[in-house]
Amino acid sequence: MLKVLYADREGVPATDRGLAYGDGLFETIRMCGPKAVLRRYHLNRMVSDAERIGIKVGYAELDQELTRATSRLMPAGRTDAWILKMILTRGSGGRGYRPPGSAQQHLVFAAAAMPPMPEPTGVVVRRSRFPLTVNPRLAGIKTLNRLEQVMASSEFTGEEWELIMSDTTGDLVEGTRTNLLARVGDEWLTPPVSSIAVAGVMRQYVLECLQKVGERVVEQTLPTAIDSLPGFRGLYLLNSVFGIVAVRSFDAHDLPVDDALATICDPIETLE
């Protein structure tokens, strides 16, 4: 059974396992007025990630609470973009790390302002010096264990829109808050879920779009010298708040930018 908490109204019990161990999940949802962009994708991911870490929660109850939270947190008549964050934790209890046999999960809602959108002509990115390690059993799950992304983000100088993290072999796997997609020849390359910390819902949506129109997608990590791949045509960052963001400069190398994806996927603000 869920206990729902609103960040603007109350705190989280200090015994919450989300705080103690990062024992939980989160979703950051772009809202257009009352509409949650990629709603089903977010809810489906939270339900399936919860199952992978043994937190029992159903789609219907999350869906219902998201509707309630939207009414409560959205100023009346609002139609512009805002952000709704959902945190699901295993609740309190258990013996140390050992999860409790049954617990009341906590579901925390917080509203935030929409951040500024990146330049449509493309963004500047750089490689992070902070490596990403991925536990094979937790790969792709949007858990509350995000200190690696925090540490990588502390390298932002103000010149980059995103920092790209490498695995321990040096291959590019993921931005701090975005998934990677490269266009090379007639193929699209993206690091596989097994190599990434968070399998984003925008990544899933874009891959579905590509498959629907018969484009060829290859799941592999990307070499550091990405623009030296024969036939390299562009690098894109995928994020459920910002949509598809083209990279125009990577580690001070200019990259080509094309708008092929814009003809394949719908604009983010129109997505259900």
Positions in the binding site for its own copies (CB under 8 A): 5-7, 10-23, 26, 53-54, 87, 89-90, 95-99, 108, 110, 115, 130-138, 143-154, 156, 168, 176-177
End-to-end CA distance of the chain: 28
Least separation in angstroms between residue 179's CB and its own copies is 15
Name the residue nearer to its own copies (CB basis): 144 or 264.
144
Tell me the CB-side half-sphere exposure of residue 245, using CA atoms within 13 A. Answer: 25
Tell me the CB-side half-sphere exposure of residue 114, using CA atoms within 13 A. Answer: 20
State which amino acid sits at residue 63.
D
Candidates 245, 121, 117, 100; CA nearest to 178 is 245
Least separation in angstroms between residue 147's CB and its own copies is 5
Least separation in angstroms between residue 20's CB and its own copies is 7
C-alpha–C-alpha distance, residues 174 and 163, integer Å: 9
Residues contacting 6, CB < 8 A, separation 6+:
69, 72, 73, 108, 109, 110
Instruction: Provide the 10 A C-beta neighbour count for residue 132.
Output: 20
Least separation in angstroms between residue 45's CB and its own copies is 16
Least separation in angstroms between residue 148's CB and its own copies is 6
